[in-house]
Amino acid sequence: MVASSNDAVFTSSKDTEKFLCNLLLDSTQPISDRFRALFSLRNLKGPAPRDALILATRDSSNLLAHEAAFALGQMQETEAIPALAAVLNDLSLHPIVRHEAAEALGAIGSYGNIPLLKSSLDLDPAQEVRETCELALERIRHVKDAGNSDDSSTTDISPFKSVDPAAPACSCTSVQQLREILLDEEKGMYERYAALFALRNDGGEEAVAAIIDSLGSKSALLRHEVAYVLGQLQDKAASTALSNILKDVNEHPMVRHEAAEALGSIADDQSVALLEEFTADPEPLVSQSCQVALSMLEYERSGKSFEVFTKVVTIEFASFVLNFVNMALFSPIVAVPLHSNPNCALNYRRRKDA
């Protein structure tokens, strides 16, 4: 998960936008190529990228659909609120997609989202969705309170360039205190998330150990966020714990999916081997996450940016690329690398570098 408001936003030609939108929505294309289009559209502004991402929230791939909802939240696209509300209300959709729609509504931070989030908090059958609504409601209230406060520390930008579901706890809180809050099953979800993000921002050995310990929490939502944060930190100390989660077929698919992406971000030999093994997992959320992570890693280790983005593409060149899309030769149109760490397979979602 990566912030929108603090990332670079680029302009592009209409032909580039059309190409990216078509690729995103083409279910016959490899999931990794569609993710590359999604990541590129995430860095563009305007109705075409937004509308394509909205359509993608209804995709048959729950992984892609939830990522599209996440992107809209990180972009803080207020025009996407009605579509995200419809996704949250649609109980026929996978809980991971509804969860991400709720989180996106919280990330956008509109006070008008409160009634819907309250309703879903009471009525949604999935615990992970209800807990997300609880978080989103608290985040909106926090944003409102911060807007009325003269204390700028309440609105600090995440060092990871992400719009986080909760503001980090006060930096004056000790790591031991944060650990106790994070592991306390009696604490509210927002308070535990706040402790988690404060520990992430600390990033020291003791803080990372506390985060790893919280992978045993009862809440699948919290466990999935913990895995996500460990991917942000890219600390190899988490590799074994994340590997155990990915291998546990009884774990919630949402948690295994985040563990797979975190392992792709850590990208040590053990992690890569495990990702290759689980590309055939019967759970699509897991297998597709492994496929995308490995594809990202392949591109970034070759010195290319995974995002498929360029400032200007001529009609002739766009046509040339379209002729080769089935051969996955989309990478030549990359003209603006958005990050530089060759070992971070999932920098798009979780990068710390600006």
State residue 262's pLDDT score. 98
Last residue of a domain, one of 165, 194, 226: 165
Q: Which domain-ending residue is among 134, 165, 196?
A: 165
pLDDT, residue 157, reads: 66
| Number of domains the chain is built from | 2
For residue 250, which amino acid is it?
N
* pLDDT averaged over every residue in the chain: 86
Q: Are 51 and 345 in contact (CB under 8 A)?
A: no
pLDDT at 45: 85
Q: Calculate mean pLDDT across residues 111-131.
A: 98
257 is in an annotated binding site: yes
> Length of the chain in residues, anyone?
354
**In this model, does residue 126 exceed pLDDT 90?**
yes
Both 49 and 172 in one domain: the answer is no
- d(CA 263, CA 39) in angstroms, rounded, equals 19
Lowest mean pLDDT among 152-161, 162-171, 299-308: 152-161
Among candidate residues 283, 304, 325, the one where a domain is terminated:
304
Query: Is 261 annotated as contributing to ligand binding?
Result: no
Question: Does 66 count as an annotated binding residue?
Answer: yes
* 27-36, 116-125, 271-280, 316-325: range with lowest mean pLDDT: 316-325
Q: Is 10 helix (H, G, I), strand (E, B) or coil?
A: strand
* Domain range enclosing 184: 168-304
DSSP state of 44: B
DSSP 170: P
For residue 105, being part of any structural domain is answered with yes
Q: Is 225 annotated as a binding residue?
A: yes
In this prediction, what percent of the chain has a pLDDT beyond 70? 79
- Residue 224 annotated as binding? yes
258 is in an annotated binding site: yes
My answer on whether 191 and 285 are in the same domain is yes
Task: State the pLDDT at residue 161.
Answer: 87
